[in-house]
Chain A
Amino acid sequence: MAVHSAINGTTAIPWRSSRKRLTLLEQLRGCQEAWCPGAPWDRERAHSAICGTPAGCFLIVRDSATCQPSLLCVSTGGDNDTVLDYNIKSTGKVFQLSESRLSFSDLAQLVLFYSLTRDVLAICLSIPQWIYCVTDKNRNHLSQLEPTETWLRTPPEQQTDEMTHKEPSTVMCSIQLTSTNGALCIINPLYLREHGDDWLTHGTTAAQSATLPSNIRRERRLSTTRTWAGAGVQSKRAISLDQEPTAASIESSGLSRARSADSHFPLDFSTPAVPTGVVLRRPSKDSACSPPHRASTGSLTVFTQTSRGSNSPVSELQQHGSPVPMSPHRVSWIEDGVWLSPPRPSSLLQPPSFELDSLSISSIEEEQESQMPSAASHHASAHRLADKVIHRLSAVGQALGGLVSQKKRLINRVQELSERKGGSFAENVKGFVEMTLKKGVDLDGVTGSEFLQEVRSSLTSLRETLLDYPEIQALLDSITDLSDAEIESLVELSLHKVAVKPVSAHLYSCIHASRIKDGTLERLQSNLRVLEKNKVEELGASAGVGVPDSSSLERIQQKWTSMHEAYSPNKKVDILLKVCKSIYHGMSANASSAGTVFGADDFLPCLTWVLLRSDLTTLQIDTDYMMELLDPTQLQGEGGYYLTTLYASLYYISSFRPRMPARQLSVEAQHSLNQWHRRRTLHCDQSRRSKNRRTIRRQMCRDRGSQNSQTDTESKEESGSVDVDKSPQQAGSSTEGLPPLSEEKPRGQEVKDVSKTPSSASDCNEQGILSKQKDRQTLCAGEDEQTKN
């Protein structure tokens, strides 16, 4: 039943359709006439045109005799209106600046390189922002651009404007750009081989030397990653994750970028690979135009025109830059004067937050710490600091792969969309939040799980709306390194942030109220008193299994707390996995015989043992929350397994009634189980990806019908079996169905739901057909509703 067409074993994903965009190199080539005009342009004319333009503005002048490009004229900006000249040598088929040993096969490549990397120049070349807006369609206009009118004189406002508007639709993965643009990849290692990276140590102030070694190391790593160059090119619009909090903190605090970078993570000053990077000061002739330069740690680093437009925050920052000595050779891609944040709408700026790298599982621990109240942070031990270092390292590792940034970018974009006035997504999110909050905690007769199902289906339709945005599609297109499941998870996460976060506290209250109403919480508490004295063996574990010791139990409690604090069900599951890992660790570390590997026979009792020492009420709420709100596709795999086990264990505790007649519970228990499974299967197909879902909706409707019919059948079957159970004649069949072990006979029978006689199989088929029809109606109705949203 393939709905996707298979291409070499992978599935074509609708939103991965690539769209035709021009690379910066193509864009530059397209308007070469503007920045490298032919006769009658000469040095004088170029100088007078450049004079007074912001630093980095440039023109290339051709030799009047040979018509070969001969001179690069660069404005240094500032009051002096100086224009620097660099001779261009063209030998055979390559171009190079006469002072540099780097050569390029065409002029655009040279310009592109020097727009990223200063090398022998005093200042990086600045490429006007509007060039990014050039697409296939309007590229023809490029050749008609005038050097003075358009290349050098584009008003800053217009640029900013265009950027703001064009940005979303043209965001593209830097990696892709790199891969289509081999030039940048080739140049950089060459440069490093030529010059080494010793130069990094030159001209560094004493204050920064502490951080330097790691820096160098990092730059070495950077030099071998594939992303930096393209990232530099592309990230004029792409905001680096690593820099973002810093940038934001500057805006809010007014501190200089440099100071901010130094003070942002005071604890980590001596630790290697601090994601916010380290300040390197770059020498410059014109200190006013030379902002402090920070080694960029992220592969995706931000840069913009050095000082274009006095109204940009950049120029303000530059005022704070301290004058620094100059050293002859620099590569600017690790510096940050030219990589400063472009002037962008403030809505794009996220406040500095723990979510810096929270998307990587490895950083969850850290996130928890940052979420902890400040009192707790006083306990920060060396051990924790070490952890932190590890997490940061891994975060940097991911940043180098560009993944974190991509994730962050998506999350930011979704956030922005949710705030965009009048946008359909923003409206829907707003409506959803309002509707959800309007619902009283008592839920007016709806059960807690029904309510959560509504929430889940609203989330699913919000996601549909979201995926309808071409800019989101483009962004997802650009993420090439993640599996489909990971991308789905990512989309979910971004959605949680805008839609679930505002309502999570209310959802907790609703679940709480509903679980009070159905008596679960009370049963949990009373059974807790019965069971809490039980050793793990008494809960069924085999002899010799260890349990977490008191200190790791304490850590587990902390994790439960962070699990509750996390609003995203996906994050909750991640934390749950960490708890389970600790439990496994406790099982084997404290086991009587070393080297035993424990399966579910021992894990479930052990988890139960841990739960009996935890806040069962909160755990029940969190479990319900995850169960109902997780996208069903996320319920697969390891996360799904351990969530099921958590649910099962809580269920075991709440349904534990040693002296109760078994049959009564069975009704309740089976009902609950069936409800639960039904919900899961009901949702199972709703999570399919946007376009596919549209096209296969009818088909799915049928599938779901049949699927649910099965569930329904089962529930009927079981409710049938409950009746049967009550009749004494049938009790025999129950025992026959499952010979109970002597140890647990009384309780064992409470679950004899297997007493169904085989002959009723045909009955259940009939029931199945009926329920299929019923389900189909409900489902289609549900879909219509969804579409309306």
Chain B
Amino acid sequence: MSSRGSGGRSNGTLPQTKICQFKLVLLGDMAVGKSSLVLRFVKGQFDEFQETTIGAAFLAQSVCLDDTTVKFEIWDTAGQERYHSLAPMYYRGAQAAIVVFDITKPETFERAKAWVKELQRQASPNIVIALAGNKADLAEKRLVEYEEAQTYAEDTGLLFMETSAKTAMNVNELFLAIAKKMPKTDTQNPTHAARHRGVNLQDPDAHSTRACCGGN
């Protein structure tokens, strides 16, 4: 249906490459730059690994990581408070999440913390969560200090980076850091990765694997 494209075909071009597919959900307040961040990431990659999608709310992108091709299926969510109740439909089964806030708007940071809390409580137990302080190019308007967010991220066990979708600062780095942190044991093939999705995360083996790769 929609899963044709680079992921399915790259077996042929990269015969020795392991392919892992992950669902990544984007959370964060409205207008913090969730989709800009992802678009910047996707546009910055080689076309070869891009999958055409009908719109920016769902994007698929692969990145190469050593001997592994990591394919992200990126599920954007509506950040408005009124749509909050719908978020669980999106983040269920996700193996990774990027929680985005705007460093010029402290309330978005608070909201991000709330998302992290919700994810840690309700999403898959092994979900890899990254916190992105976006709009880092607007440093002069900064209202959320780097150290504050950094400390929070360390305390909560998150990946953290300040990013700028505008200048592309740390955008690829963020996704690569996530890719490195993902468990890569079992997904020889995108289809199977997809199929195993729900299973892996509850699998005790996946736990240990994550612990190994998780050092980053």
B160 to chain A, nearest CB (A): 20
Bound Cα distance from A781 to B31, whole angstroms: 48
A570 to B205, CA, bound (A): 34
Q: Does A710 contact B202, Cβ atoms closer than 8 Å?
A: yes
Is the C-beta of A544 less than 8 angstroms from some C-beta in chain B? Answer: no
Once bound together, how far apart are the Cα atoms of A574 and B196, in whole Å?
A: 24
Q: Which of A542, A600, A655, A684 lies in contact with B85, CB distance below 8 A? A: A655
Q: Is A352 on the interface with B (CB-CB < 8 A)?
A: no
Given the interface contacts A483-B4, A739-B114, does A644 sit within 8 Å of B83 by beta carbon?
A: no
Is B84 a contact partner of A600 (Cβ separation < 8 A)?
no
B85 touches A710 (CB 8 A): no
CA distance A472 to B54 in the complex (A): 34
* Of B86-94, B129-137, B139-147, B168-176, the one touching chain A: B86-94
List CB contacts (< 8 Å) of A607-648 with chain B. 633-634, 636-642, 644-645, 647-648
> How far is B203's CA from A537's CA once the two chains are assembled, in angstroms?
43
B50 sits at the interface (CB 8 A): no
Contact (Cβ within 8 A) A9 B11: yes
Using A6-B188, A483-B8, A751-B85 as known contacts, say yes or no to A639 and B1 having CB atoms under 8 A apart: yes
> What is the interface size of chain A, counting residues whose CB is below 8 A from a CB of the partner?
81
Asked if residues B125 and A710 are in contact (CB atoms below 8 Å), the reply is: yes
Q: Do A1 and B186 have beta carbons less than 8 Å apart? A: yes
Q: Tell which of A542, A673, A748, A754 touches B121, judged by Cβ atoms closer than 8 Å.
A: A754
Within 8 A of B (CB), among A736-753: 737-741, 743-744, 747-748, 750-751, 753
The reply to whether A638 and B2 form a contact with Cβ atoms under 8 Å apart is yes
Chain A residue contacts of B36, Cβ below 8 A: 597, 599
Complex interface: chain B residues within 8 A of A603 (CB):
55-57, 76, 78
In angstroms, how far is the closest chain B Cβ from the Cβ of A199? 38
Task: Please tell me which stretch of A224-232, A245-253, A577-585 contacts chain B, meaning at least 4 of its Cβ atoms lie within 8 angstroms of it.
Answer: A577-585
Residues of chain A contacted by B8 (CB below 8 angstroms): 483, 485-486
A8 CB contact (under 8 Å) in B15, B39, B90, B205: B15
Residue numbers in A under 8 Å from B55 (CB-CB): 580-581, 584, 598, 603
Known A-B contacts A601-B34, A601-B78; the reply to A633 vs B57 at CB < 8 A is no
Q: Which of A652, A744, A758 contacts B81 (CB 8 A)?
A: A744
CB distance from A646 to the nearest CB of B (A): 11
| List of B residues within 8 angstroms of A740 by Cβ | 81
Report the separation of the CA atoms of residues A655 and B84 in the bound assembly, to the nearest whole angstrom: 13
B1 and A574: CB pair below 8 A?
Answer: yes
Q: Which one, B3, B4, B14, B107, contacts A636 given CB within 8 A? A: B3
In contact, B117 and A599 (Cβ under 8 angstroms): no
**Residues of chain A contacted by B125 (CB below 8 angstroms):** 710
Question: Is B48 an interface residue, CB under 8 A from the partner?
Answer: no
* Contact yes or no, B199 A645, CB < 8 A: no
Tell me the minimal C-beta distance from B96 to chain A in angstroms. Answer: 15
Q: Does chain B have a CB within 8 A of A156?
A: no
Cα–Cα, bound, A687→B83 (Å): 31
**Those of B63-120 within 8 Å (CB) of chain A:** 73, 75-86, 88-90, 92-93, 107, 110-111, 114, 117-118
Contact of A750 (CB < 8 Å), options: B85, B196, B200:
B85
Q: Are B54 and A483 in contact (CB under 8 A)?
A: no
Contact among B4, B31, B34, B93 for A542, CB-based, below 8 A: B31
B58 CB within 8 Å of chain A: yes
B53 beta carbon closer than 8 Å to chain A: yes
1/0 per position for A482-495, CB-CB distance to B under 8 A? 01111011000000
**Most A Cβ at <10 Å: residue of B1, B77, B84:** B1
- Are B30 and A540 within 8 A (Cβ)? yes
Q: Among B31, B85, B121, B195, point to the contact of A669 (Cβ < 8 A).
A: B85
Q: Does B163 contact A (CB under 8 A)?
A: no
- Expressed in whole angstroms, the Cα–Cα distance for A741 and B110 within the complex equals 10
B2 touches A739 (CB 8 A): no
Q: Is B114 within 8 A of A738, CB to CB?
A: yes
* In the assembled complex, B150 has its CB within 8 A of some CB on chain A: no
Contact of A642 with B58 in the complex, beta carbons under 8 Å: yes
Q: Which residues of the partner chain B approach A685 to less than 8 Å between Cβ atoms?
A: 195, 198-199
Given known pairs A4-B188, A574-B1, A703-B203, the reply for A599 and B19 (CB within 8 Å) is no
- Complex CA gap A638/B56 in Å reads 11
A202 is an interface residue with CB less than 8 A from chain B: no
Closest A residue to B78 by beta carbon equals A604
A633 near B80: Cβ-Cβ < 8 Å: no
Q: Say if the beta carbon of A707 comes within 8 Å of chain B.
A: yes
Chain B residues near A644: list those with CB within 8 A: 75, 89-90
User: In the bound complex, do residue B35 and residue A598 qualify as a contact, i.e. CB atoms below 8 Å apart?
Assistant: yes
> What residue of chain B has the Cβ atom nearest to residue A7's Cβ?
B188
B191 touches A598 (CB 8 A): no
In A565-593, the 8 Å CB interface with B consists of 570, 573-574, 577, 580-581, 584
Q: Is B206 in the interface zone, CB < 8 Å from A?
A: yes
**A574 CA to B3 CA, complexed, in Å:** 12
Most A CB contacts (10 A, CB to CB) among B2, B8, B14, B19 go to B2
Q: Is the Cβ of A673 less than 8 Å from the Cβ of B89?
A: yes
Residues from chain A with a CB closer than 8 A to the CB of B203 are 1, 703, 706
B92 touches A677 (CB 8 A): yes
- B 171-201 contacts with A by CB, 8 A: 185-186, 188-192, 194-200
Q: Given A4-B188, A637-B73, A641-B75, answer yes or no on A9-B90 (Cβ-Cβ < 8 Å).
A: no
A651 is an interface residue with CB less than 8 A from chain B: yes
Q: B122 on the interface (CB 8 Å rule)?
A: yes
Contact B11 A10 (CB under 8 A): yes
**CA of A446 to CA of B36, assembled, Å:** 46
Q: Are A748 and B81 in contact (CB under 8 A)?
A: yes
Residues of B within 8 A of A597 (CB): 35-36, 39, 56
* Closest partner residue, chain B, to A361 (CB atom): B1
Which residue of the partner chain, among A1, A601, A743, contacts B31 with CB atoms under 8 Å?
A601
Quick one: closest B residue to A10, CB to CB?
B11
Q: Which of A639-676 contact B (CB under 8 A)?
A: 639-642, 644-645, 647-648, 651-652, 655, 669, 673, 676
Cα separation A599 to B80 with both chains bound (whole Å): 12
Asked whether A419 is an interface residue with its Cβ less than 8 Å from the other chain, the reply is no
Q: Cβ of A641: which chain B residues have Cβ within 8 Å of it? A: 57-58, 73, 75
List chain B residues, Cβ under 8 A from A636.
3, 23, 73, 194, 197
Q: Is B60 an interface residue (CB 8 A)?
A: yes
CA distance A348 to B60 in the complex (A): 40
State in angstroms the CA–CA spacing of A581 and B111 once bound together.
31
A733-B110 Cα distance, complex, nearest whole Å? 14
Tell me the bound Cα distance from A753 to B110 in angstroms: 17
CA distance A599 to B165 in the complex (A): 14
Closest to B58 in A: A641
B196: which A residues are within 8 A, CB to CB?
A: 1
**CB–CB A483/B89 < 8 A:** no
Give bound CA distance, A6 to B121, whole Å: 35
Q: How far is the CB of A433 from chain B (nearest CB, A)?
A: 25
Whole-angstrom distance between the Cβ of B171 and the nearest chain A Cβ:
15
Interface pairs (22), CB distance under 8 Å: A8-B11, A9-B14, A483-B4, A599-B26, A600-B78, A600-B79, A603-B56, A603-B57, A637-B3, A638-B58, A644-B89, A645-B57, A648-B86, A651-B89, A673-B89, A684-B195, A684-B197, A703-B203, A707-B198, A739-B111, A748-B84, A751-B85
**Chain A residues within 8 Å of B, Cβ to Cβ:** 1-2, 4, 6, 8-11, 483-486, 488-489, 540, 542, 570, 573-574, 577, 580-581, 584, 597-601, 603-605, 633-634, 636-642, 644-645, 647-648, 651-652, 655, 669, 673, 676-677, 680-681, 684-685, 687-688, 703-704, 706-707, 709-710, 714, 717, 737-741, 743-744, 747-748, 750-751, 753-754, 756, 758, 761
Q: Chain B interface (Cβ within 8 Å of chain A)? A: 1-4, 8-9, 11, 14-19, 23, 26, 29-31, 34-36, 38-39, 53-58, 60, 73, 75-86, 88-90, 92-93, 107, 110-111, 114, 117-118, 121-122, 124-125, 185-186, 188-192, 194-200, 202-203, 205-206
The 8 closest A-B pairs by CB, nearest first: A599-B35, A751-B85, A638-B2, A483-B8, A600-B76, A641-B58, A604-B78, A738-B114
Starting from the known contacts A600-B57, A753-B122, 5 additional A-B residue pairs (CB-CB under 8 Å) come to A9-B17, A601-B35, A633-B191, A677-B92, A739-B114
